[in-house]
């Protein structure tokens, strides 16, 4: 059974993207606004996180440019480029592919058909300074896997970065190398705090399943009910309609 978190953090990665792709005054952009407004109606339990507020905190530090930044998946690569646009820290961005994948009753890490992580990071392991960048450190599994794939000597030259994180998971990362986060939530995973991307509500790929097609969150009714309680049915309906507008529906 999916627990209802005391606080659900929803990262708004849909508003700007939809404006860029469909226009700021498009039907799709208005539908995104209506969806986020509905989600935010549960103000005591749901908080919308913006990219600007997270980047604003993450980029307050002072770093010289890193020789290479390793973006974890498409999301981590995107964050690395967004940070670089503000700071100039990451002139060279490489990407590694690894993600959590549902397998039976649990999860395992998958490189999505790419080589093992040790091979993917081999080309950057000798760099004089390394940044490892992800969008979210929730369980910490993907970030820890990438850091542990680096040769031991490389960790002393490595710094991790993420837009948002759960405190206890971030602490595990910090045992391997310094880490900066734009937003940190405290509490137990799933019971006290959960993070989701707004795009995952409507775009398939938010839920990856071994040997099966990926899903959007709206296609997992028990999760929607746990997250959005009495508004779940209306939120789901708006997600279905928005997925059609964005060309994401089957």
Region of 187 (left: φ > 0; alpha: ψ -120 to 50; beta: rest) is left
d(CA 18, CA 220): 23
Sign of CA dihedral 16, 18, 20, 25: negative
d(CA 37, CA 1): 27
In this prediction, residue 105 carries a pLDDT of: 79
Question: For 170-190, how does the pLDDT look when each residue is reduced to its tens digit (9 = 90+)?
Answer: 999 999 999 999 999 999 999
Three-state SS for 155?
Answer: helix
Mean pLDDT taken over the chain? 96
Question: For 34-43, how does the pLDDT look when each residue is reduced to its tens digit (9 = 90+)?
Answer: 999 999 999 9
Q: What is the mean pLDDT of residues 101-118?
A: 92
Confidence of residue 128 (pLDDT cuts 50, 70, 90): very high
d(CA 70, CA 65): 13
> With contact defined as beta carbons under 8 Å apart, do 208 and 228 qualify?
no
d(CA 141, CA 161): 14
Confidence of residue 250 (pLDDT cuts 50, 70, 90): low
Phi, psi of 150 (to 5 degrees): -75, 145
How far, CA to CA in Å, does 232 sit from each of 151, 217, 236? 46, 11, 6
Tokens representing residue 169 in the block = 């998971």
What does pTM read for this prediction? 0.95
* Percentage of residues of the chain with pLDDT beyond 70: 100
Q: Which CATH code of 3.30.390.30, 3.40.50.2020, 1.20.1250.20, 3.40.190.10 fits the domain covering 54-162+169-180?
A: 3.40.50.2020
Lowest mean pLDDT among 4-18, 99-113, 138-152: 99-113
d(CA 203, CA 166): 24
In this prediction, residue 170 carries a pLDDT of: 98
| Number of Cβ atoms within 10 Å of the Cβ of 23 | 11
User: CA 223, 103, 211: angle at the middle one, nearest 5?
Assistant: 105
* Percentage of residues of the chain with pLDDT beyond 90: 95
- Composition of the chain by helix, strand, coil, percent to 5: 40, 25, 35
In this prediction, residue 10 carries a pLDDT of: 98
d(CA 238, CA 201): 10
Q: What is the mean pLDDT of residues 20-30?
A: 96
The domain ranges of the chain are 7-51+188-245, 54-162+169-180
In this prediction, residue 71 carries a pLDDT of: 98
pLDDT at 226 over 70: yes
Three-state SS for 148?
Answer: helix
Q: Which of 80, 81, 38 is nearest to 239 (CA)?
A: 38
Phi, psi of 232 (to 5 degrees): -60, -45
Q: What is the mean pLDDT of residues 199-219?
A: 95
């Amino acid at each position: 059974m999916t627990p209802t978190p005391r606080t659900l953090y929803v990262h708004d990665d849909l508003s700007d993207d939809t404006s860029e792709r469909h226009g700021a005054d498009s039907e799709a952009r208005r539908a995104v606004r209506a969806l986020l407004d509905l989600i935010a109606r549960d103000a005591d339990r749901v908080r919308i996180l913006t990219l600007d507020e997270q980047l604003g905190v993450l980029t307050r530090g002072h770093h010289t440019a890193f020789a290479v930044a390793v973006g974890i998946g498409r999301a981590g690569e995107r964050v690395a480029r967004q940070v670089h646009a503000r700071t100039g820290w990451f002139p060279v961005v490489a990407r590694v592919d690894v993600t959590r994948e549902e397998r039976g009753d649990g999860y395992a890490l998958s490189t999505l058909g790419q080589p093992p992580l040790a091979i993917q990071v081999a080309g950057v392991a000798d760099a004089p300074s390394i940044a490892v960048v992800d969008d979210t450190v929730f369980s910490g599994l993907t970030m820890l896997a990438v850091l542990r794939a680096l040769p031991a000597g490389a960790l002393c030259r490595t710094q991790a970065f993420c837009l948002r994180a759960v405190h206890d998971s971030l602490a595990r990362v910090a045992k391997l190398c310094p880490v900066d986060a734009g937003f940190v939530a405290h509490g137990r995973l799933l019971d006290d705090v959960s993070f989701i991307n707004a795009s995952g509500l409507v775009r398939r790929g938010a839920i990856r399943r071994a040997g099966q097609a990926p899903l959007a969150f709206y296609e997992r009714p028990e999760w929607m009910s746990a997250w959005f309680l009495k508004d779940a049915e209306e939120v789901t309906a708006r997600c279905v309609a928005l997925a059609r507008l964005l060309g994401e529906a089957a």
